[in-house]
Amino acid sequence: MVVHRHWFDILSQFFIIFIMLLLLFGSLVFASQIVDSSNGAISPSLFLFLENIFLIFIWLFFFIIWIDYYFDVWIVTNERIVNIEQKGLFSRGISELELENIQDITVEVQGIIPTFLNYGNLYVQTAAEKERFIFKHVPNPYAIKDLVMNLQKSYEKKEAHNLGAVIRKEIHDELN
């Protein structure tokens, strides 16, 4: 299973960009009044230059939010959990967690909107080097928790079965 953050998480971050775009277009609509009220302190070309710089920053902010959203991924397999976390534009951290190291799984859904849209945080406590894996703002965290717990139980059963087979083989070899 490949898990990304919930779509509402990126939508709430894009709300800031939407406000910034409204400010940009509002200032363009009233550009003549702004330039006239400055009594020649701001020329029209300087005003447009500043508006373009502001637009570039909005675009960069949009791009950073999208990159962070798209490249934050959690991959759940039948043997491990892989956490790929994008940190800025040019930095990424990748962590792995073996299912046998899981000690506790906690789901946290706080607020009205996360409750209605069914998203929240999933915390996986381990005994490994990285003590806690956090699935941030993932959709349907209860289903992911159930999947991880079922995979862990089936992994433990498989390991117990393999250990039993090894012990039976050693006993058989000693008797012969």
pLDDT band at 19 (very low <50, low <70, confident <90, very high): very high
In this prediction, residue 155 carries a pLDDT of 79
Tokens 């006993």 correspond to what residue? Answer: 171
Question: Within 13 Å, how many C-alpha atoms sit on residue 30's CB side?
Answer: 9
Backbone angles phi, psi at 72, to 5 degrees: -85, 110
Would you state the pLDDT for residue 172? 66
**Residue 98 has what pLDDT?**
85
Domains of the chain: total: 1
Higher pLDDT, 109 or 100: 109
pLDDT at 119 over 90: yes
Q: What number is the average pLDDT over the span 93-98? A: 86
Residue 86 to residues 36, 69, 83: CA-CA distances in angstroms?
Answer: 45, 8, 10
Looking at residue 167, which CATH number applies to its domain?
2.30.29.30
Query: Which of 120, 133, 124, 83 has the alpha carbon at shortest distance from 106?
Result: 124
- Provide the domain limits for residue 13: 1-176
pLDDT at 164 over 80: no
Lookup result for tokens 């005003």: 47
> Average pLDDT of 22-41?
75
User: Which tens digits make up the pLDDT trace of 36-86?
Assistant: 666 666 677 787 888 899 999 999 999 999 998 999 999 998 888 888 988
Question: Residue 31: what are its φ and ψ, rounded to 5°?
Answer: -60, -40
- Indicate whether 163 pLDDT > 70: no
pLDDT tens profile 4-15: 999 998 998 899
Please name the residue that has the structure tokens 């058989």.
172
